[in-house]
Amino acid sequence: MPEQYEIVRKRALTPDITSISVYAPLIARKARAGQFIILRAGHDGERIPLTVSSTQGDLVTVVFQKVGDSTMTLDEIPEGGCLTDFVGPLGLPTPVDGVKRAAVVGGGLGCAIALPVAKALHDAGAQVDLIGGFRTKDIVILEEDMARACDNLYICTDDGSYGYSGFTTGKLEELLRSGEKYDRVYAIGPLVMMKFVCRLTKGYDIPTIVSMNPIMIDGTGMCGCCRVTVDGQVKFACVDGPDFDGHKIDFDETIARAATYKEFEQRRRENHKCRLEGMNNG
């Protein structure tokens, strides 16, 4: 039997995106689509909130991108290694009951979160169109898994190198103009993408749920970084979400605040690489 929080499987999806399946039977039994876990890659490691991508038996799979020091440290743990902490499931499950026809829109790494939402809807009997957007063909992830979780899968690439040429909003609008009728749309991905999905669906009067996972940091709401204005009220993605009514979110405020951390993350990533290079040269 694997040790507690052992990384049983590890897979590089792209040079910057990694999937790990962790032995966590209690979490695996309870986790629902949209919920997240908090992990630490060492006793001195930062808390990292990651949405559950899938569960299978006693394993919980999460997908992460190497964007800073903590996620780069996490990526260095080999298959068979163990995490210090792996806590969850946290957050509220994505609402899927009563939906008969849905479109799920994922952007980049957000497709790892869109996947369990599409699967939960499909398993509940809904007809699901899943739209996955990527910059280029080389960084498309989880295509086979997404295809199994929906009725129709549409892959979009910004540069036109694979599938639909253009953004996910373009494909969604094409489907809507062709006469598709959705009870609800779900959008998971970069803030700008979710903003424009919501702008589009509002014009069609389609209820839209968005995941504010991209702005979560400590996973408890105490840091305040995940605060978001919803219908004029301050909410915290970690504890009140991460899913919200996308038509009520102040995206411009959230996007502006999220941009303040980009320079810090880049510095941490560069410092981590410098330390690795120093060790390799030593």
**Residue 33's CB: how many other CB atoms inside 10 A?**
26
Report d(CA 209, CA 194) in Å as an integer: 9
Positive or negative CA dihedral for 227, 187, 58, 83? Answer: negative
Instruction: Look at residue 130 in the predicted model and tell me its pLDDT.
Output: 97
Which of the two residues, 73 and 170, has the higher pLDDT score? 170
More confident residue, 71 or 28: 28
pLDDT exceeds cutoff 70 at 271: no
CA distances from 51 to 21, 89, 191 (A): 13, 9, 16
Q: How far apart are CA 55 and CA 33, in angstroms?
A: 10
23-30 average pLDDT score? 95
- Per residue in 225-243, pLDDT (tens digit) is 677 788 888 888 777 778 9
Q: How distant, in Å, are the alpha carbons of 102, 115, 139, 245, 250 from that of 18?
A: 28, 15, 12, 30, 31
Judged against a pLDDT cut of 60, whether residue 272 lies above it is answered with no
Examine the pLDDT at 2 and tell me if it is beyond 90.
no
Q: What integer pLDDT is reported at residue 224 of this predicted model?
A: 61
pLDDT confidence of residue 239: 77
Q: What's the CA dihedral at 216, 194, 269, 159 to 10 degrees?
A: 160
> Torsion angle of alpha carbons 93, 53, 147, 124, nearest 10°?
-20
Checking if the pLDDT of 112 tops 70, the result is yes
Orientation of helix 191-203 relative to helix 168-177, angle to 10°: 10
The pLDDT of residue 274 = 47
Under the banding of pLDDT at 50, 70 and 90, the label for residue 270 is: low
Confidence of residue 280 (pLDDT cuts 50, 70, 90): low
Q: What are the tens digits of pLDDT across the range 28-40?
A: 999 999 999 999 8
User: The tokens 């009220």 sit on which residue?
Assistant: 233
The pLDDT assigned to 260 comes to 64
Q: Which DSSP string corresponds to 110-146?
A: GHHHHHHHHHHHHHTT-EEEEEEEESSGGG---HHHH
257 pLDDT higher than 70: yes
Answering whether pTM is above 0.75, one says yes
In percent, how much of the chain has pLDDT > 90?
66
Q: Any idea of the CA torsion for 135, 142, 221, 269, to the nearest 10 degrees?
A: -60
Residue 212 to residue 236: CA distance in whole angstroms: 9
Domains and CATH numbers, the chain: 7-90 (2.40.30.10), 101-257 (3.40.50.80)
CA distance 194 to 208: 10
Name the residue with higher pLDDT: 253 or 21.
21
Lowest mean pLDDT among 34-48, 138-152, 160-174: 34-48
In this structure, the strands spanning 36-40 and 85-90 are antiparallel
When the pLDDT of each residue in the chain is averaged and rounded to a whole number, the result is 87
Is 44 or 27 the better-scoring residue by pLDDT? Answer: 27
* Residue 57: other Cβ atoms inside 10 A: 11
Per-residue model confidence (pLDDT) at position 220: 58
- Residue 256 pLDDT level (bands cut at 50, 70, 90): confident
